[in-house]
């Protein structure tokens, strides 16, 4: 076919949830408030951890990194998703050292080590996401570029290709599979060791205290991996794009929204620090008025 007769499409059209057009006003308000609370909640955790010396510990350092990641989620989706996989594994390692080797905890998880581990997570996540990105950019895309999703996920984007995408599917499965499974295996190994160490504690109070430091992390891991596996590892022949969009919405929007709640409302240290920030701010305002 002549080049002059070919149609060139330079833009992408995201369908989003167009089958819910009748509810667009209510959905706009819902997603707007979810976005506002996600940004403000995660920013609040970062500010509280930064200004409260009592929270200058490895656990809250990694929680701050997780909050920063959640703020940017929809802007760099795949890079941040793989970064979160690694970060959740590092947080499990932090809990493992704290419970299984408490006497050496401060020596092992010092400030330099924490910064190196956090940096490793970010580099690993974005480097891994670059591989499927490069192969996807090489594909020729045909026809009207309508994507049946609310962001440019890999699978619906590959559906627009004019050529066979089996190799790209294989690359994506290998990279995403390794990023998720490798870190999940690390998390499971860490928690097997944690459970083994906790079972050695004689008192029930001591066991409960040890497990309580892990409960928030376990909740976040469960939310993240259960929804991610549903979208990327579930059998494709029993799923629809609408189903994938709804499930993706859970870990793309509602998991970042729930993380500040999980790490604050269930955490006495964060709640105490938040009260101190409010009291200090209130006291400063009162002094200025006087």
Check whether 5 has a pLDDT greater than 50: no
Residue 9's closest CA among 145, 148, 153, 152? 145
- Rounded mean pLDDT of the chain? 81
Q: Tell how far CA 46 is from the center of its chain.
A: 15
CATH code: domain of residue 77: 1.20.1070.10
Predicted confidence (pLDDT) per residue in 130-185, tens digit: 888 888 888 887 767 777 777 777 777 887 888 888 888 888 888 888 888 899 99
Share of the chain above pLDDT 70, in %: 86
| Number of domains observed in the structure of the chain | 1
**Which ranges of the chain does DSSP label H, i.e. alpha helix?**
24-51, 58-71, 77-100, 105-108, 111-137, 154-158, 166-199, 204-232, 241-249, 255-265, 268-289
pLDDT given for residue 192 in this prediction: 93
pLDDT given for residue 185 in this prediction: 93
pLDDT given for residue 6 in this prediction: 46
User: Does the CA dihedral 103-190-59-209 come out positive or negative?
Assistant: negative
pLDDT given for residue 108 in this prediction: 93
Q: Is residue 4 part of a domain?
A: no
pLDDT given for residue 186 in this prediction: 93
Q: Is residue 154 part of a domain?
A: yes
Burial of 119 (0-12, 13-18, 19+ CB in 10 A): exposed
CA distance 222 to 88: 11
Share of the chain above pLDDT 90, in %: 20
The predicted model gives 213-239 an average pLDDT of 75
Find the radius of gyration of the CA atoms of the chain: 22
The predicted model gives 120-134 an average pLDDT of 89
Tokens of 188: 């499971």
Q: Is residue 283 part of a domain?
A: yes
pLDDT given for residue 155 in this prediction: 76
Q: Is residue 1 part of a domain?
A: no
pLDDT given for residue 83 in this prediction: 92
Domain that holds residue 137: 9-289
What residues pair up with 14 in beta bridges, in sequence order? 147
Q: Which of 14-18, 204-208, 285-289 has the lowest mean pLDDT?
A: 285-289
Q: Is residue 2 part of a domain?
A: no
pLDDT-derived band at 2, boundaries 50, 70, 90:
very low
CA distance 288 to 121: 43
Q: Is residue 236 part of a domain?
A: yes
pLDDT given for residue 10 in this prediction: 61
CA distance 259 to 38: 9
Token look-up 């970042």 returns 256
pLDDT given for residue 119 in this prediction: 95
Q: Between the CA of residue 247 and those of 69, 122, 158, 191, 276, what are the distances in Å? A: 19, 25, 19, 27, 38
Backbone φ, ψ for residue 25 (5° rounding): -65, -50
Q: Is residue 40 part of a domain?
A: yes
């Amino acid at each position: 076919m002549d080049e002059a007769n070919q149609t060139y499409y330079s833009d992408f059209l995201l369908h989003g949830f167009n089958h819910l057009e009748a509810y667009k006003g209510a959905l706009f308000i819902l997603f707007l408030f979810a976005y506002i609370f996600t940004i403000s909640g995660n920013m609040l955790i970062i500010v509280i951890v930064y200004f409260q010396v009592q929270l200058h510990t490895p656990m809250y350092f990694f929680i701050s990194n997780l909050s920063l990641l959640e703020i940017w989620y929809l802007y760099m989706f795949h890079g941040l998703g793989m970064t979160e996989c690694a970060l959740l594994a590092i947080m499990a390692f932090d809990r493992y050292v704290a419970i299984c080797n408490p006497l050496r905890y401060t020596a092992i998880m010092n400030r330099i080590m924490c910064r190196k581990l956090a940096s490793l997570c970010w580099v690993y996540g974005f480097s891994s996401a670059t591989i499927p990105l490069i192969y996807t950019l090489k594909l020729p895309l045909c026809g009207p570029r309508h994507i049946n999703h609310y962001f440019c996920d890999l699978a619906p984007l590959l559906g627009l290709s004019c050529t066979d995408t089996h190799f790209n599917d294989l690359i994506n499965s290998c990279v995403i599979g390794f990023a998720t499974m490798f870190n999940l295996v690390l998390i499971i190994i860490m928690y097997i060791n944690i459970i083994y160490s906790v079972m050695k504690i004689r008192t029930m109070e001591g066991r409960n205290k040890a497990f309580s430091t892990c409960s928030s992390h376990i909740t976040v891991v469960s939310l993240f991996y259960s929804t991610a596996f549903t979208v990327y590892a579930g059998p494709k022949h029993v799923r629809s794009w609408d189903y994938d969009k709804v499930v993706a919405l859970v870990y793309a929007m509602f998991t970042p929204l729930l993380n500040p709640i999980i790490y604050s409302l269930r955490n006495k240290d964060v709640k105490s620090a938040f009260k101190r920030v409010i009291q200090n701010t209130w006291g400063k305002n009162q002094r200025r008025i006087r």
